[in-house]
Amino acid sequence: MSSLNQEVQMLHHEVANGMQLFPPPINNPKDFEDTVKSFKQKPSRRKVHIRSLTLLNFFIKKQAQRIYKKCVVDKVVRELWNSTTANNKIIYKELCKQINSRINSRIGG
């Protein structure tokens, strides 16, 4: 358990010293073109629904200097999400709506 706590602290440190996550580093869904492809690997007719926490998780993983266990990243994401302001959460939610709309319009939905 101690090593998990150490990993959480290391990831917190990387996040604190890295790019700003609130507001999101990418504010325009058009700038998200290449990144969106990683969310939808296989072509299908199913609608994609990216959530705010998924997006925050993606930004944290992208910023991390090394690969962390899923439970470590999830814990840091939850802590950051729970400690941010309602306004920052709204910005992430709106960005997700725009991204989902953009992806799903290409699928044919």
For 28-87, what is each residue's pLDDT tens digit?
A: 777 776 666 666 556 666 677 889 999 899 889 988 888 999 999 999 999 999 999 999
93, 95, 63: which is closest to 76 by C-alpha?
63
> Would you list the domain boundaries of the chain?
2-36+48-107
pLDDT in tens, 2-11: 699 999 999 9
pLDDT reading at 20 higher than 60: yes
Q: How far is CA 94 from CA 47, 55, 74, 89, 99, in A?
A: 17, 11, 21, 9, 9
CA atoms of 86 and 81, how far apart (whole Å): 10
pLDDT, average across residues 5-30: 86
Is 0.75 surpassed by the pTM of this model?
A: yes
pLDDT reading at 22 higher than 70: yes
**Side chain identity, residue 95:** L
